[in-house]
């Protein structure tokens, strides 16, 4: 990956290998199988360098960058999805976008400050770690800063309470509770889910290739 002004660049190579053995060889060679979707692309198969991909992934899924496909063209994309296992990237889905067309993405919430209620003995809890917002690709932030320092015991912060930058529209329901400060006795009285329920929720879905 290299920087070109504000737009990061990631080089990709087309691939025809789609079966497990071939994909494992790619991964052993430090490459990550990937697919590009959108704007007339019907799942174009590519692979990218894992180390370079990790640099892009750290910027967040809401940051647009250029995907330079060898022998093809340069495509503005976002990270649509990525699969990891034991700290290794297994597969990435890219979404081709238009710089002039608004899109909806999930952006990480960056909680700032310490709630007043926490200092008074309450317990600060986060119910959501991301907000879904809509905007032009160039207006999408890598994170949304939220100051929670004024929250007192019993207070709840909803998605609608969060002020967004100009050009962004909230997609998440405004009534969604993002964070709260609970009385300490209320937290102690919460009953954890049974082991049977936890086991049922831990079923693993099938992985993509």
- 30 three-class SS: coil
Select from 10, 83, 7, 1 the least CA-distant residue to 46: 10
pTM of the full structure: 0.68
Contact predicate 183/154, CB 8 Å: yes
Set out the domains of the chain in order of their start, with CATH numbers.
2-96 (2.40.240.10), 103-189 (2.170.120.20)
Measured in whole angstroms, how far is the alpha carbon of residue 151 from the centre of its chain?
Answer: 26
> Could you report the per-residue pLDDT of 143-176, keeping only the tens digit for each?
899 999 999 999 999 999 999 999 999 999 999 9
Contact predicate 177/122, CB 8 Å: no
> Could you report the per-residue pLDDT of 22-76, keeping only the tens digit for each?
888 999 999 999 999 886 666 789 999 999 998 887 655 667 888 999 988 888 8
């Amino acid at each position: 990956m290299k920087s070109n002004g504000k737009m990061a660049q990631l080089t990709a190579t087309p691939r025809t290998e789609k079966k497990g053995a071939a994909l494992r060889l790619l991964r052993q060679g430090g490459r990550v199988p990937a697919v590009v979707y959108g704007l007339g692309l019907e799942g174009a198969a590519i692979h990218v360098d894992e180390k370079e991909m990790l640099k892009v992934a750290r910027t967040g899924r809401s940051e647009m960058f250029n995907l330079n496909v060898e022998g093809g063209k340069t495509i503005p994309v976002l990270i649509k999805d990525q699969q990891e296992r034991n700290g290794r990237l297994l597969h990435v889905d890219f979404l081709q976008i238009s710089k002039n067309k608004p899109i909806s993405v999930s952006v990480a919430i960056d909680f700032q400050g310490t709630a007043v209620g926490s200092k008074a003995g309450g317990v600060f809890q986060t119910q959501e770690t991301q907000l879904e917002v809509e905007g032009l690709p160039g207006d999408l932030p890598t994170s949304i800063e939220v100051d929670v320092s004024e929250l007192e015991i019993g207070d709840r912060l909803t998605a609608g309470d969060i002020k967004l930058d100009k050009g962004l529209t909230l997609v998440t329901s405004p009534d969604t509770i993002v964070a709260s400060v609970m009385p300490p006795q209320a937290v102690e009285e919460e009953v954890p889910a049974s082991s049977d329920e936890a086991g049922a929720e831990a079923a693993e879905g099938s992985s993509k290739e």
